[in-house]
Amino acid sequence: MSFEKILTDLKNKKFAPVYWLEGEEPYFIDKIIDFAEHHILNDSEKEFNLSVFYGKDSTWADIVNACMRYPMFGEKQVVILKEAQQLNDITKLESYINNPLSSTIFLVGYKDKKLDARTKFAKTIKEKGELLSTKKIYESKMPEWINNLVAEFGLSISQKALILMIDNIGNDLNRVETEIKKLAISLGNRKNITEDDIEKYVGVSKEFNVFELQNALGKKDFNAALRIVEYFSKNKEAQSFLIIMLPSLYTFFSKVYQLFSINAKDEFSIASQIGVTPFFVKNYIQASHNYSFQEVEKVLLLLYEYNLKAIGINNASASHYELMKEFIVKS
């Protein structure tokens, strides 16, 4: 079952006896668990009919005993197991899951892992309850996801602001939501999030960031690239970003490299084939026009070499700033 369907059913009070929420993306697991904890029962019911366990501090027997109780002064009780991946002997929950009480709503948050679907335990969960298996959202899908989330807050976001947010946060969905909540409050009566808002409230410079560094190098504007790197070197709060620039640039030029081997002409087809959002594809195309195939190969080799130096291999004392400058000069 999908995240949206589970959340909609819970809001409409259509309950399954067991919800097993697993996988790589904690955001979706947390959203369902949070709703179940705070909104299924009213305040008076929670006192008697809400039990929350943490895998590290609980035993399977305590959890099963809680699930087997009948609700007091209400029709349903909610039992939540958070961080279930830390629970010892978790498969011993199978006896309860195989024959759950209809008056208990049991939710399990099993983060960063997935059960082996071939096991009897996993098959029991799928048969008797609802299974949500989550995956990380690819960064190419983030613009659509952020636009949808922003719309839920009654806001809109400019393309440049969207790019800055993704460039700074990536696909950390919990942090994206936190920042959008902060922006919704900070904007007051305004409804559109701009790049100035991202700079002011999220703390991302609209002129000096990895995205602008990629653009500068893609245009072969090496003076602009050096200014951006110098800004990072002088800004104590931003210095830590220097170490992530090389891997980010390697990803950028790897996708530029792919352009030489595809036949697509329109931007949407190109974006799909190299795995980026159409918002970004013009920058990759521009770089492929400014660099020859051999030049892109050279840049990728340099990035590999300097990424090793950045983690201390074949580098005695050069700082990240010095390494970035050397890379740009040799590009």
* Residue 311 CB coordination number (10 Å): 9
Sign, Cα dihedral of 197, 202, 205, 210? negative
pTM: 0.72
pLDDT at 169: 83
Task: Please count the residues of the chain.
Answer: 331
pLDDT tens for 138-180 read 877 888 899 999 999 999 999 889 988 887 788 899 999 999 9
Residue 88 has pLDDT above 90, yes or no: yes
Rounded to whole angstroms, how far apart are CA atoms 304 and 284? 19
Rounded to whole angstroms, how far apart are CA atoms 51 and 54? 10
Rounded to whole angstroms, how far apart are CA atoms 252 and 291? 13
DSSP code string of 96-156: HHHS--TTEEEEEEEET----TTSHHHHHHHHHSEEEEE-PPPGGGHHHHHHHHHHHTT-E
CATH of span 139-202: 1.10.8.60
Match 């305004």 to its residue by tokens: 190
* Domain 3-134 CATH superfamily: P-loop containing nucleotide triphosphate hydrolases (3.40.50.300)
pLDDT tens for 93-116 read 999 999 999 999 999 999 998 998
- Residue predicted with more confidence, 287 or 275: 287
Residues above pLDDT 90, as percent of the chain: 65
pLDDT at 241: 64
Rounded to whole angstroms, how far apart are CA atoms 331 and 326? 9
Rounded to whole angstroms, how far apart are CA atoms 59 and 297? 55
pLDDT at 166: 85
Rounded to whole angstroms, how far apart are CA atoms 219 and 286? 7
Helix axes 222-234, 242-259, angle to 10 degrees: 150
| Gyration radius of the chain's alpha carbons | 25
Task: Give the confidence band of 236 by pLDDT, cuts at 50, 70, 90.
Answer: low
pLDDT at 170: 81
Rounded to whole angstroms, how far apart are CA atoms 146 and 156? 10
Rounded to whole angstroms, how far apart are CA atoms 321 and 242? 7
pLDDT at 240: 60
The closest alpha carbon to 253, from 310, 301, 325, 308, belongs to: 301
Rounded to whole angstroms, how far apart are CA atoms 174 and 178? 6
Q: Where are the domains of the chain?
A: 3-134, 139-202, 210-330
H-helix or E-strand spanning residue 51:
strand 50-54
Inter-residue long-range contacts of 117-123, CB under 8 Å, 24+ positions, other chains counted: 119/91, 120/94, 121/91, 121/94
The SS3 assignment for 23 reads: strand
pLDDT at 106: 98
CATH 1.20.272.10 given to domain 210-330: yes
